[in-house]
């Protein structure tokens, strides 16, 4: 069975890190790469036995690549502090590592918005590659929405992990405003006029956000606002 390293990048994550680490306790190694936390994030991680490193922030993709480099094992699972590996996902990972049939694996995520699991609005299965052989995979080094690129076969895992996306609407607005700056497309008045309406229609109607009622409406509306910001910044 191949050994596994779980890697996590952090900054001021004392509220989330303990549960993230607890969900990764089955791994042979846990690596935490911190970028200047002022709270107790590093102390909490050290108490759990994680290997903790502190280095300057490079950007999301570059920071995760560095964390992967610090791992001792070729097979890694990249976990965010606000994500959790479920027991079902753990079991499936362990079975795969006995005899991997791919170089990387897409993991489905269940996104929680203010305490509610949202499976509409195109937010599920929300596949992302997190389990991979680091000799065959690497994160794209972009400002935001980094993703793993695999040089080889890619498989899919059925069991989801949990993503505690947003605790409240204010946090959602603040984060999307920041991301829209990082992902700004440049001023485009035509797209700023029409694309937000399409985003709302796609998420609320085509992606069945209406099934989540008021929550689906808010999420669709705020993602439409994010689309608007991208084209006016």
pLDDT (tens digit per residue) in 3-19: 999 999 999 999 999 99
Q: Which of 68, 190, 82, 195 is nearest to 135 (CA)?
A: 68
pLDDT given for residue 178 in this prediction: 87
Does the pLDDT value for residue 182 go beyond 90? no
Cis preceding-peptide flag for 125 (omega within 30 of 0): yes
The predicted-structure confidence for 102-161, as pLDDT tens digits, reads as follows 999 999 999 999 999 999 999 999 999 999 999 999 999 987 789 999 999 999 999 999
Task: Work out the number of other CB atoms within 10 angstroms of the CB of residue 87.
Answer: 10
23/27 Cα distance (integer angstroms): 9
Averaged pLDDT for residues 73-80: 98
Indicate the pLDDT class of residue 91, thresholds 50, 70 and 90.
very high
173/169 Cα distance (integer angstroms): 6
51/48 Cα distance (integer angstroms): 9
Indicate the pLDDT class of residue 76, thresholds 50, 70 and 90.
very high
Please state, rounded to an integer, the average pLDDT across all residues of the chain. Answer: 96
pLDDT given for residue 183 in this prediction: 75
Find all residues with CB under 8 Å of 127, minimum gap 6, and list them.
Answer: 106, 107, 108, 109, 156
Which of residues 182 and 176 earns the better pLDDT score? 176
Indicate the pLDDT class of residue 181, thresholds 50, 70 and 90.
confident
146/161 Cα distance (integer angstroms): 18
Indicate the pLDDT class of residue 184, thresholds 50, 70 and 90.
confident
Q: Which of 137, 228, 213 is nearest to 177 (CA)?
A: 228
pTM confidence score: 0.92
pLDDT given for residue 77 in this prediction: 98
Q: Which domains does the chain have, with CATH numbers?
A: 4-166 (3.90.550.10), 169-230 (no CATH)
Poorest-pLDDT segment among 7-21, 95-109, 167-181, 210-224: 167-181
């Amino acid at each position: 069975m191949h050994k596994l390293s779980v890697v996590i990048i952090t900054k001021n994550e004392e509220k989330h890190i303990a549960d993230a680490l607890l969900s990764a306790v089955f791994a042979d190694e846990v690596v935490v790469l911190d970028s200047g936390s002022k709270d107790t994030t590093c102390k909490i991680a050290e108490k759990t036995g994680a290997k903790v490193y502190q280095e300057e922030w490079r950007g999301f993709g570059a920071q995760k690549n560095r964390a992967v480099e610090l791992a001792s094992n070729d097979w890694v699972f990249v976990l965010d502090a606000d994500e959790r590996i479920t027991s079902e996902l753990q079991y499936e990972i362990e079975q795969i590592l006995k005899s991997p049939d791919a170089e990387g694996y897409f993991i489905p995520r269940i996104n929680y918005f203010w305490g509610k699991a949202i499976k509409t609005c195109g937010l599920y299965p929300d596949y992302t590659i997190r389990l991979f052989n680091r000799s065959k995979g690497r994160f794209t080094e972009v400002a935001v929405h980094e993703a793993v690129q695999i040089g080889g076969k890619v498989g899919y895992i059925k069991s989801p992990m949990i993503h505690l996306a947003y605790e409240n609407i204010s946090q959602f607005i603040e984060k999307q405003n920041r991301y829209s700056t990082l992902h700004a497309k440049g001023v485009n008045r035509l797209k700023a006029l029409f694309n937000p309406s399409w985003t709302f229609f796609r998420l609320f109607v085509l992606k069945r956000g209406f099934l989540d009622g008021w929550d689906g409406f808010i999420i669709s509306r705020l993602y439409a606002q994010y689309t608007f910001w991208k084209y006016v910044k």
